[in-house]
Amino acid sequence: MRLAVVFALVVVAQVAAQEHQHEAGAHNHPEAAKIQNPVAADAASVVAGKKIYAKTCSECHGEEGKGDGTMADEYTPRPPDLTDAEWKHGSTDGEIFVVIRDGSKGTAMKAYGSRMSPKDIWNVVNYLRSIGPAK
């Protein structure tokens, strides 16, 4: 049973790696783009996401998501501005969720999937939507 689970995870990781495409400075995640946000972007979710963001993300991305956190100068590339229209790692809810969950290779963005529940990650996505570009 355990071997089957490990094999399934390896296959999923290989498929995900193949579907992660880089074109002209952008990163496309076709499978992640298909993931639908199951958490309503209501006031409660946005407030919960803001609290998690302040505790977990603001050190790098800044209090207002501008990429100017206290640790931002420590990283190359710098953390992105999450309030502008340019989202290099995808701008769908699913892509944002996957970047938070899995991190971003070649950047300082760590994976938070083992430290945050899926609902907490979706709450952060909903908060980012409230301060960032529209869908």
Residue 40: which CATH number? Answer: 1.10.760.10
Asked whether the whole model's pTM tops 0.85, one would answer no
Q: Tell me, yes or no, whether 72 lies in a domain.
A: yes
pLDDT digits (tens, 9 = 90+) for 84-112: 887 787 889 999 999 999 999 889 999 99
Do 121 and 112 touch, CB atoms closer than 8 A? yes
Domain that holds residue 72: 29-131
pLDDT digits (tens, 9 = 90+) for 3-26: 443 333 333 344 344 344 434 445
Q: Is 67 left (phi over 0), alpha (psi -120 to 50) or beta?
A: left
Q: Tell me, yes or no, whether 20 lies in a domain.
A: no
Go through the chain and tell me how many residues it has.
135
Spatial CA neighbour of 122 closest among 86, 87, 98: 98
* Number of folded domains that form the chain: 1
Q: Tell me, yes or no, whether 14 lies in a domain.
A: no
